[in-house]
Amino acid sequence: MLAAMAACTALGALIQSQLYARLERRRATHLVVLIASLGALAVIQNIIAAAYSPNILQFPIPWSSRIVPLGGVRLTITQLLTIATSLAALAVTLWFAHHTILGKRIRAVASNPMLADITRLRPQSVYIIVIAIASALVSLPGILVPMDLGLQPYGGVTPLLTATIAMIAGGVGSIAGAFVLAVAIAVLQNLSLLVMPGEWSIGVTFFIFVIFMLFRPTGLFAAAR
Amino acid sequence: MTAYLQARGLDHRFGGLHALQDCSFTIEQGRITCLVGPNGAGKTTIFNAITGFLRTDAGSVTFRGATLTGLRPQAIVHAGIARTFQNLRLFTDLTALDNVMVGIAGQFGEEPVGAIFRPLHTARAQRRRRQEAIATLEHVGLADRAQDLVRNLSYGEQKLLTVARVLATGAELLLLDEPASGLSAGALDAVMALLRRLQSEGKTLLVVEHNTRVVQQIADDVLFLHQGHLMAQGTPEAIISDPALAEIYFGGAL
Amino acid sequence: MDFLFTYIVLAEIYVLLGLSTNLLVGIVGIFSVSQAAVFGVGAYVVAHFMMAAEPLAFLPSLAIAAACCIALNVLVTLPSLRVSGDYFVVTSFGIQLLATAVFVNWTAGTGGANGLPGIPPPDVFGLAIETTQQYVLLCTAGAGLGCLAFWLIMRAPFGRLLRAIREDESAVAAAGKNVLRAKVSAAALAGAFAGTAGGFYATFLSFIDPVSFDLDASILLLTMVVVGGARTLAGSIAGPFLLLALPQVLTLVDIPTTIAASMRQLIYGLLLIAFMLFRPQGILGERL
């Protein structure tokens, strides 16, 4: 697990420093960066697919699917681990962003990259650190979800979309908001299973997004600007 | 009698910064009004408030008796007010001529159906508009640069082009954000001559300007803005000779 | 010979799609990965009307498909473009995934993952198009008209307006133009191109399945535009012809068939990154 986190961190930092930072230096437009990131998505996905075959892999870990009864609710150990890990990750991220010097530096850069550049906060190195941290965080569900549901190389896009929608609906810049909305979307998705088959849950997620865009585009807990 | 342009009680905060504090003023038709004040006084914010780029927290703007509050930028251009930007915001990958032509109002073929299904009519209409645009470029003295890409123009030429672009909209009240800053002496004279010429053709101008010599030469009225407050409105002589205002403007250097 | 004709027809269909993508991504500068979804909607709509109990002819079906795709693109772009361009990224991802979900799961309407076979060949004013040669003529006419329309747009005030919007939306608004309306018009036009391409595709192959219209197909389209060159007619034509030749080149290299699809997609991704880093104007285009 630690190895996976380390690998993701390194990969994230590599993409930022070798790809995005280079584009930034060439004054590439937003669009160019987006296209390049889509290219990176295609490359990584398909390297994995070519290396491990595009089929679903199951984790053969016997303890992970053992069931723990918990006051009427039956959860597997993996599921419990997932809950514990995400709460811990939320707490650590919040603490990091608001109470460490590095976190404050990151927020300073985000609010005004030009000024931060002048005051020698070095936005480029901060970006690399941020992407590295984000990659480490994203490796957590990358480990936990497959333990629950199996693993396949093309599984990344739907969670990516769901997460982005949770982030926007929660309010860009609000970590707690993203957490709350992610949980809310998951609950709504599962409730929707009562009335429609599971293949349509992407529709539910997307519907939530459209509603937010129409009525509250800044999200629920937007940081004051 | 209603004023030509009247702003009442404009008030706006950006987070903790009180950028405009209860600003009220009027602009008379056919005059050149200069908006002066130190950096950060809120001059560009006033421009944004008039032209619909900023919805102020409070206050209203009326133009020839019609209220502009809440209108989108393009609707305000149609009402007859157009602006330039301090950082120019030209379309640098387009030619000077195309930059002006973007500004021309009511062109045929500006939506896909007409452009595809009536190509000959579109082309004919374009030829007429091109003549208009070339005339506008001649007016500001850029006719010989019409086919050049904007990024190949000098800074002074780009400033003149921003004026040509607002002229193309046909607006009668022009808001010019620092049209004379950063120019060489020769280019400065050209811009001042252009502004006077526009005035003689019946345009009304509101101009942000730092250079007191320019203000003295072109302004009929001066609005003095400081930290979001409108400190004074009057003739250039009265404003410049006011020691309290000079103290603010030059920070005690005089 | 037939093989060459097939290549030409497919490339011409992708030229229409390339024009559609180039219009949105290259000229207006809206990042879109839902072009394949719109393409798919066009294909399924044409298939539906030509296979209905009382079948419609090819051209009316094509017109309906184009109209559906225009409506779809307008509905999709209006709310998100109103807010900000960045949100459109999410919207287009969402539309793409949602469309794939519909194509795969709405078995009654689309045949599901197994696809929809038996789409009849097209007809033009009562004349059936059956041989591949005839189809080359039909597609060349279609792609030719598409290119003509694109060319007319680009030299009209509308084209100039779109190019100006890509550079600076606020300046366009300050010049008195309605930015939102222009963008949504461009999206509608892109929808018409993609929907038409879908109709040609469905009738030419006589079989469609969701795989042709998934996110990977959208990435392929984007790669075509990027490699061919953004913002020019020549780029939109060169890209599809070059990239559709790529799988043929790959068959010369000895790769196990199980990973051939992944390898192809991997190459598209590498091309996207490489062109963005080293040649953002593509082969025949202008800087993005």
Rounded to an integer, what distance in angstroms lies between the CA atom of residue A116 and that of residue A123?
7
Measure B189 CA to nearest chain C CA, in Å: 26
Short-list A142, A106, A163, A166, CA closest to A9: A142
Interface membership of C279 toward B (CB under 8 Å): no
Short-list B104, B103, B88, B194, CA closest to B151: B88
Identify which has the larger pLDDT, A28 or C101. Answer: C101
Closest Cβ–Cβ partner in C215, C262, C276 for A54: C262
Rounded to an integer, what distance in angstroms lies between the CA atom of residue B36 and that of residue B249?
9
Instruction: Answer whether A11's CB lies under 8 Å from A135's CB.
Output: yes
How would DSSP label each residue in chain A? -HHHHHHHHHHHHHHIIIIIHHHHHTT--HHHHHHHHHHHHHHHHHHHHHHH-SSPB----GGGG-EEEETTEEEEHHHHHHHHHHHHHHHHHHHHHHHSHHHHHHHHHHH-HHHHHHTT--HHHHHHHHHHHHHHHHHHHHHHHHHHH-B-TTTTHHHHHHHHHHHHHH-TT-HHHHHHHHHHHHHHHHHHTTTS-GGGHHHHHHHHHHHHHHH-TT-TTPPP-
Indicate which of A20, A38, A41, A216 best probes the interface with C, i.e. most C CBs within 10 Å of its own CB: A38
Identify which has the larger pLDDT, B244 or C195. Answer: C195
The angle, 0 to 180 degrees and rounded to 10, between the axes of the packed helices A2-15 and A123-149 is: 140
pLDDT digits (tens, 9 = 90+) for B36-49: 988 888 999 999 99
Q: Are C156 and B98 a contacting pair at CB < 8 A?
A: no
Indicate which of B44, B48, B89, B166 best probes the interface with C, i.e. most C CBs within 10 Å of its own CB: B89
Instruction: Answer whether A172's CB lies under 8 Å from A223's CB.
Output: yes
Query: Which residues in chain C are contacts of A158 at CB distance < 8 A?
Result: 97
What is the three-class DSSP state of B231? strand
Query: Which residues in chain C are contacts of A225 at CB distance < 8 A?
Result: none
Closest Cβ–Cβ partner in C79, C104, C288 for A210: C79
Give B53's pLDDT tier (boundaries 50, 70, 90): very high
Task: Give the pLDDT score at C83.
Answer: 66
Task: Give the pLDDT score at A114.
Answer: 67
Identify which has the larger pLDDT, A161 or B201. Answer: B201
- Chains with ≥3 CB–CB distances under 8 Å to B: C
Identify which has the larger pLDDT, C177 or A109. Answer: C177
Instruction: Answer whether C213's CB lies under 8 Å from C43's CB.
Output: yes
Tokens encoding A147? 């333990």
Tokens encoding B208? 């942000």
Instruction: Answer whether C105's CB lies under 8 Å from A199's CB.
Output: yes
User: Which has the minimum average pLDDT: A55-59, B126-130, C37-41, C251-255?
Assistant: A55-59
Burial class (CB in 10 A: 0-12, 13-18, 19+), A64: middle
User: Per DSSP, what are the bridge partners of residue B82?
Assistant: B174
Q: Are B169 and C175 a contacting pair at CB < 8 A?
A: yes
Q: Are C94 and A46 a contacting pair at CB < 8 A?
A: no
Look up tokens 């790959």; give the residue.
C250
Residue of B nearest to C145 (CA): B116
Q: What is the DSSP letter of B152?
A: G
Interface membership of C196 toward B (CB under 8 Å): no
Residue of C nearest to A172 (CA): C87
Query: Which residues in chain C are contacts of B84 at CB distance < 8 A?
Result: 174
Look up tokens 């390339």; give the residue.
C18
ipTM reported for the complex, 2 dp: 0.91
Interface membership of C171 toward B (CB under 8 Å): yes
Q: Which of B 192-211 lie inside 8 A of C, CB atoms?
A: none
Give A225's pLDDT tier (boundaries 50, 70, 90): very low
Query: Which residues in chain C are contacts of B82 at CB distance < 8 A?
Result: 174-176
Q: Are B110 and C156 a contacting pair at CB < 8 A?
A: yes
Interface membership of C173 toward B (CB under 8 Å): yes
Measure B167 CA to nearest chain C CA, in Å: 10
Query: Which residues in chain C are contacts of B102 at CB distance < 8 A?
Result: 160-161, 164, 172, 175, 177
Q: Are C167 and B92 a contacting pair at CB < 8 A?
A: yes
What b-and-e string marks burial along A16-28, b requiring 16 or more CB atoms within 10 Å of the CB? bbebbbebeeeeb
User: What's CA C274's distance to the chain center, in Å?
Assistant: 22
Q: Are B102 and C158 a contacting pair at CB < 8 A?
A: no
Q: Are C185 and B51 a contacting pair at CB < 8 A?
A: no
Closest Cβ–Cβ partner in C222, C259, C263 for A35: C222
Q: Are B103 and C175 a contacting pair at CB < 8 A?
A: yes
Closest Cβ–Cβ partner in A23, A34, A197 for C31: A34
Interface membership of A121 toward C (CB under 8 Å): no
Q: What is the mean pLDDT of chain B?
A: 92
Q: Are C186 and B103 a contacting pair at CB < 8 A?
A: no
Rounded to an integer, what distance in angstroms lies between the CA atom of residue B28 and that of residue B9?
18
Instruction: Give the pLDDT mean for A84-109.
Output: 84
Q: How far is CA A129 from each of CA A133, A142, A179, rounded to the nearest angstrom?
A: 6, 20, 21
Q: Which of C 126-155 lie inside 8 A of B, CB atoms?
A: 149, 152-153, 155
Residue B104: pLDDT over 90: yes
Closest Cβ–Cβ partner in A28, A38, A160 for C222: A38
Percentage of chain A beyond pLDDT 70 is: 86
Residue of C nearest to B107 (CA): C157
Give B251's pLDDT tier (boundaries 50, 70, 90): low
The letter for the amino acid at B46 is I
Residue of A nearest to C259 (CA): A50
Task: Give the pLDDT score at B246.
Answer: 79
Task: Give the pLDDT score at A88.
Answer: 87
Q: Are C178 and B74 a contacting pair at CB < 8 A?
A: yes
Give C92's pLDDT tier (boundaries 50, 70, 90): confident
Measure C80 CA to nearest chain A CA, in Å: 7
Instruction: Answer whether B163's CB lies under 8 Å from B141's CB.
Output: no
Q: Are A39 and C270 a contacting pair at CB < 8 A?
A: yes
Tokens encoding A205? 């997620």
Other Cβ atoms within 10 Å of C248 Cβ, number: 10
Closest Cβ–Cβ partner in C174, C176, C286 for B78: C176
Q: Are B112 and C185 a contacting pair at CB < 8 A?
A: yes
Q: Are C101 and A199 a contacting pair at CB < 8 A?
A: yes
Q: Are C171 and B89 a contacting pair at CB < 8 A?
A: yes
Interface membership of C83 toward A (CB under 8 Å): yes
Give B144's pLDDT tier (boundaries 50, 70, 90): very high
Query: Which residues in chain B are contacts of C185 at CB distance < 8 A?
Result: 111-112
Query: Which residues in chain C are contacts of A29 at CB distance < 8 A?
Result: 29, 288
Tokens encoding B252? 């005690």
pLDDT digits (tens, 9 = 90+) for A176-215: 888 888 888 888 888 888 877 777 777 788 888 877 777 7
Interface membership of C82 toward B (CB under 8 Å): no
Rounded to an integer, what distance in angstroms lies between the CA atom of residue B105 and that of residue B58?
31
Task: Give the pLDDT score at B252.
Answer: 47
Residue A48: pLDDT over 50: yes
Interface membership of C156 toward B (CB under 8 Å): yes
Residue of C nearest to A47 (CA): C266
Task: Give the pLDDT score at A164.
Answer: 83
Closest Cβ–Cβ partner in C158, C177, C287 for B112: C158
Q: What is the DSSP letter of C285?
A: S
pLDDT digits (tens, 9 = 90+) for C192-246: 999 999 999 999 999 999 999 999 899 999 999 999 988 899 999 999 999 999 8
Rounded to an integer, what distance in angstroms lies between the CA atom of residue C41 and that of residue A112?
43
* Backbone dihedral angles phi then psi of residue B18, each to the nearest 5 degrees: -85, 90
Short-list A67, A92, A91, A90, CA closest to A78: A67
User: What's the pTM value of the predicted model, to 2 decimals?
Assistant: 0.88
